[in-house]
Structure 1
Amino acid sequence: MQRYGWLVAAAATGVVMVLVAVVASGSDAAPQTQPGFLPPQGQPVVVQEPGGGEPLNYGDTVAYDACALLSTRTLGDLGVRIDPGSSFIDSHLDGDVPADAAVTQGGLDSISNCRYTLVGGDELNVTVQQTPFTTEEKVDQTRAWPQQNNVAVRRDRGLEVASYRDGAGWTTVIGRQKLAVAINFDLRRPVYGDRDQRQFVADVTRAVVDAVVAGAAGPAVYRHTGPFAGVKSPCALLSADAFQLAYPGGPAPLVLEYADAGFATVREGDGETALRTTTSCVRSNVVPDGALGPAYRDIRLDMTVWDKPQWTVQRDRSDCGGSAVTLGVTLGDGAACLTDTGPSTWNLSFRSGRSVITLSTGGAAAGDRETVKRLLTPVARALVAKLG
């Protein structure tokens, strides 16, 4: 599920990112959530929260969630903050997969992945590999990285643990039979909080080991605050049920979720300032060999949310003007259309409330306008019903 190629930078020409801190605080101070008001400096715009509830299962395997293993709260307790100009990137299950459908997803896939960008540009990436989602061979290859780099492996509560320098960064591997957790550190500063690099890596590693030993937890969730309070999760909108309106049959619990950590200000023609944030979800099905298999299908939802509905009208006209093809059905609050975004790629766009939404699908279907319309119009209707 390490599929990041579709993610684009949140900033665009004429857009200035507002540096409102997102994270990671060890306190429980409640952020300002009243719509229409900006959070004060230092308060979060998007808050990561524990998912709660029971962990999810991939067949008989209880699945670990990468962002639950290393949360923003833990990072805040270690004295570091998420870059508000960055994005949360989180791939995980959002539903159980029955044993008869829990097939291997390909040697390169991980059951969960979580990426954070810290203030200053440092990056932390947590990858979880578990059988049968990942092949046992791939899990064992990851567990063997320390030995291949001549690094001593220690034992901690039944886990193999090793950290080592890896080029300009650091790598930690935590493993046991049928499980490998890799943490990649791209560190650019000598000090993090009151810790040097080595101690910071050691403390992050200890926190993740503690979380693995404590047991799997439900996926982390992301809540918008301030002027974007009430924004719905893109993966809740593009639910498995909505996905199956286009591609029926078999479970579709694999999601790659993206959310701007902060927001942007956009100068409008009348001199006012609009506020904007974006969030996205790619949902895919569980099939043999994963993305490499012939039965693999995915749908992507991109959602741009404004602080006021009036700002969506201009974007709707822009998206659905020019060479766009009117859909010919009513969706949301304005024109719905099909747009050609590149060689053999058609998207479906519409607006609802203060959101502008684009749906797309991969594979050969993306290149046929009528097929995209047939597949994605029912999905769009389901989304509109949930947004209402």
Structure 2
Amino acid sequence: MLVVGVGLRIGDLAANGVYPTTAEPSREANSQQDSQQQPKRPDRIAVFAQSPGQGTPHTYGGTVLYDACEILPLEALPKLGLAITPELVVIHQYFDGDVPAPAIVKQDTLARSSSCTYGVPNGARVSVDMYQPPFSDDRQMEANRPDPEDGPISTDRKFDVITYRDDRVEQWVTTISRPDLIVEAQVHDPTGDISGWDGRAIAEALRGPLVSRTLAGPAPHRLPSYNSGYEGAKNPCDALPPSALEAAFHKPAAPHAVAVFQVGDSIMREFDGSVAFRIDASCTRHSLVDEGLLAPDYVESKLGTSYWQDERGAETRQQAECRDTVLGIKPIPVSLRIGDGPVCIKEVGKKAYTLHFKVGRTTATLSARGGVDDPQQETQRLAPMAVQIAESLRS
């Protein structure tokens, strides 16, 4: 869970709002400490980090887009008194391509041009949402601007700024706004027992840094990176590009991804007694269509990946995945050759299937909305995506 850092005070934020960079301990450091203090390696260690993006920021309808994880990067959390622990989950929504003005579509009311969330399993989280026209329409912009009914509005470097408590959803909110941009940060703690952290203090501490990093201008989206033996892990959103959806469903796909990263690795104990470690991530992509997920022809696909510390762990898991019946779900063998291990499909619900395959040290699970009744037909529907994903993971 999120832990308040010892000796860290919210008021220690730099006056210019620039977040500090904290180094992530290496596995060697962890191993040395473990050998001195613990009889064995812990089941989980933090292995995920973020790095600045490359190239230029992307555009939507000609508007240069901000990246929410660039506004609130992972390394900023300790300065807010929140430790980076293995239990942390990072959810990053971002554009990784351009959408020209003639191709823009009307979004559903829940869409954000970018968002960045740092959360823990019990529902507590700190997140940032970006609203920019034309991706965000007039309704969204007006609905999310600071409202004097919520509290006093101040001005900071030509931004309207407000911090208030939203009891409806049990969170503190800080919003900064100007005519062409809204940045909203939320501090959510549904149980109120996250090591005694002060949601209001965190929300207020974000005010200056949000303005400062926004004034620095748009930057390319933040990139994931791994350490401690997981350096070869790929971002699943790179393995599942928009072109993969287009090849499978013959519809335009949005260069808009939702990536989920586990900060810590996980231990897997197989039925045969073997033990292996892995890092999990996923990516969801969707079609470029008016009204987004509310549209009848909306298509969405999800790729889940596990990158293992050694290929033996990946081989053992894939063999078990396509052999064992678990919770009444029996894997169905697939004759297609995808990757370098057994391939199978599972029926996990009504017209809901997951296709499982392996490439090197990565085991993958692929699914899509709007499945058919027959597992073999669903395999054929997912196969063009799976083949492209396997090629990307292999390269």
What TM-score do you get using the length of structure 2 for normalisation?
0.82
Aligned to 1:156: 156
**8 Å contact kept, 1:81–1:119:** no
Evaluate the alpha carbon distance shift between residue 109 and residue 119 of structure 1 in structure 2; reply closer, same or farther with a 3 A threshold.
closer
Residue 11 of structure 1 corresponds to none
Question: Which is worse superposed, 309-318 or 252-261?
Answer: 309-318
Report the residue type matching 1:156 in the other structure.
D
Q: 2:289 aligns with which of 287, 297, 305?
A: 287
2:344 to 337, 340, 347: 337
**Alpha-carbon distance, 1:366 to partner:** 5.0
CA drift of 1:329 comes to: 1.3
Q: Give the C-alpha shift of residue 314 in structure 1.
A: 3.2
Pairwise CA distance, 1:90: 0.9
Which residue pairs with 1:176 in the alignment? 178
Judged with a 3 Å threshold, the aligned counterparts in structure 2 of structure 1 residues 39 and 53 are, in CA distance, closer, same or farther, namely farther
Number of aligned residue pairs = 360
Which of 74, 77, 89 in structure 2 is aligned with 1:72? 74
Deviation for aligned residue 1:312: 2.5
Paired AA for residue 333 in structure 1: D
Question: Which residue identity lines up with residue 255 of structure 2 in the other structure?
Answer: P
Q: How many Å separate the matches in 2 of 1:229 and 1:110?
A: 30
- Following superposition, the deviation at residue 200 of structure 1 comes to 3.0
Give the counterpart letter for 1:66 in structure 2: A
Root-mean-square deviation over aligned CA pairs: 3.0
Deviation sequence 1:43-62 (CA, Å, 0-9, x none): 84000112132111011211
Q: 2:382 aligns with which of 368, 371, 376?
A: 376
- Given the superposition, is the C-alpha separation of residues 44 and 347 from structure 1 closer, same or farther in structure 2, using an over 3 Å criterion? closer
1:317-372 alpha-carbon deviations (Å, 9 max, x no partner): 33223532222111112211221111221221111212211111112x35443442
- Listed as ranges, the gaps of 5+ residues in structure 2 are 6-18, 35-43
What is the DSSP-based 3-state SS (H/G/I as helix, E as strand, rest coil) of the residue aligned with 1:226? coil
Q: Secondary structure at the match of 2:244?
A: helix
Match of 2:142 among 140, 148, 161: 140
User: In the aligned structure 1, how far is the partner of 2:21 from the partner of 2:111?
Assistant: 35
Structure 1 residue runs of 5 or longer lacking an equivalent are 1-16
**Shift in CA distance, 262/297, structure 1 to aligned 2, threshold 3 Å:** same
How many percent identity over aligned positions? Answer: 30
Q: Residue 250 of structure 1 corresponds to which residue in structure 2?
A: 252
Query: Matched residues in 2 for 1:271 and 1:246: separation?
Result: 39
TM-score normalised by L of structure 1: 0.83
Q: 2:333 aligns with which of 305, 326, 340?
A: 326
Report the AA paired with residue 147 of structure 1.
Answer: P
Matches within 5 A, 1:1-388: 26-27=20-21, 29=23, 32=26, 44-117=46-119, 122-144=124-146, 146-149=147-150, 151-167=151-167, 168-187=170-189, 188=192, 197-268=199-270, 272-321=274-323, 322=325, 323-363=330-370, 365=371, 367-388=373-394
CA distance in 2, matches of 1:270, 1:336: 21
